[in-house]
Amino acid sequence: MAPVQRLAAALIALVFLLAPAQAADRPVKIVAFGDSITAGYGLPADQAFPARLARALEAKGYAVSIANVGVSGDTTGGGLDRLDWSVPQGTEAVILELGANDMLRGLDPAATRATLDKILGKFDERHIPVLLAGMKAMRNLGSDYARNFDAIYPALASTHSVVFYPFFLDGVATDPRFNQGDGLHPNAAGVDVIVERILPQVEALIARARAARGS
């Protein structure tokens, strides 16, 4: 083989060797799809959950792009209605945090579960990996309501192939140190607690998104 041909062959081989690495290093496009807790109600944009999560992941060496598509007051029904335009083509992973407003309005847990099931079904159809962030009912709504609402997320996690985080406000809910004056929305310190606790599940989500690139 002539020197020029050998060089060309070597360059082609190098391209094939580098291509997987380049694909793996490309920022993972994540959409944080939720309500006011995701949106960052009462906080500067750079203190909202998606922004704080992105910084925590970058500090660990992950290349990510996280879009904040939280809408204050959104129910699961509102999320279903806006899903197609809120989660654009090219999205590689979704963090789904919806249901708290259904609970605050006292909506039927069976209806909330059915709507979340439809949302997850849409992501299944689009082959987008999902981290399902669970929610729990306030205890003053009664034991029957709390039991039925709390069961929604584990049930969905058992029927859909999601990364599951059982309670998005774990370590934050009802603790005045981590909540704003309304007692419902995390303050900046509360967001940091959420980020710290959910980080392993987000890393698992990123691994799924990267694996899907090669499928």
Largest CA distance in the chain: 82
Distant-in-sequence, close-in-space partners of 12: CB < 8 Å, separation ≥ 6: none
Residue 118 has pLDDT above 70, yes or no: yes
pLDDT single digits (tens) 59-100: 999 999 999 999 999 999 999 999 999 999 999 999 999 999
pLDDT single digits (tens) 174-210: 999 999 999 999 999 999 999 999 999 999 999 999 9
Q: Is 182 a catalytic residue?
A: yes
**127, 143, 182, 215: the active-site residue:** 182
Q: Is 160 a catalytic residue?
A: no
* For the chain, domain boundaries: 27-213
pLDDT of residue 214: 74
**CATH dotted code for 27-213:** 3.40.50.1110
pLDDT of residue 7: 45
- How far apart CA 183 and CA 206 sit, in angstroms, is 32
Q: What percent of the chain has pLDDT over 70?
A: 88
**35, 36, 74, 102: the active-site residue:** 36
Residue 101 has pLDDT above 70, yes or no: yes
Calculate ∠ Cα 202-206-209, nearest 5°. 140
The model's pTM is 0.88
pLDDT of residue 4: 43
CA distances from 188 to 41, 64, 167, 172, 191 (A): 11, 21, 18, 11, 5
- How far apart CA 169 and CA 160 sit, in angstroms, is 22
Q: Is 81 a catalytic residue?
A: no
